[in-house]
Amino acid sequence: MRSSLSITDINSDGVMDFFVGNARGGVNHYSGTTPTDTTIIDTTGITSRPRQQNEFHFDLYPNPSSNHILLRFTESKQAIRVEIVTTLGQSVHRSKHHNSTSIKLNSKQFPPGLYFVKLLTNDNLVGLKSFVKN
């Protein structure tokens, strides 16, 4: 059986949540226990580390979404890279934006489901949020 792992703070409580999906369509959810423990997943594997102060906070709405999502920032950054991934870790969108306080992204082409938005700024701040596509 083939499985995929996705990790994010899905309910914004400061604790990482783990999702394991399998090829048959099943999904298991595991919740972390303390906000001081976080897990980062990237293309090289899974690494545990203490929560960093380099988090980039942003608002995402509407959630759930039908046609678009809006990302709003409290401060403009020179460059922001945006990636949207599925619960199986598949990238469905990548883009780069400059000197923006908000970004509107088309979500109409995404199939219904749960998605994760990852932002990376030019000064290496990271932001993570999730949204549901109707």
pTM of the model: 0.62
Task: Report the pLDDT averaged over residues 6-27.
Answer: 69
User: Based on the domain organization, do 39 and 79 belong to the same domain?
Assistant: no
pLDDT of residue 31: 62
User: Based on the domain organization, do 126 and 91 belong to the same domain?
Assistant: yes
User: Based on the domain organization, do 67 and 124 belong to the same domain?
Assistant: yes
In which band, very low, low, confident or very high, does the pLDDT at 26 lie, cut at 50, 70 and 90?
low
User: Based on the domain organization, do 65 and 103 belong to the same domain?
Assistant: yes
Share of the chain above pLDDT 70, in %: 66
Number of domains in the chain: 2
User: Based on the domain organization, do 103 and 79 belong to the same domain?
Assistant: yes
User: Based on the domain organization, do 63 and 20 belong to the same domain?
Assistant: no
Mean pLDDT (the chain) is: 77
* Domain that residue 9 falls in: 3-50
Question: How far is it, in rounded angstroms, from Cα 86 to Cα 12?
Answer: 18
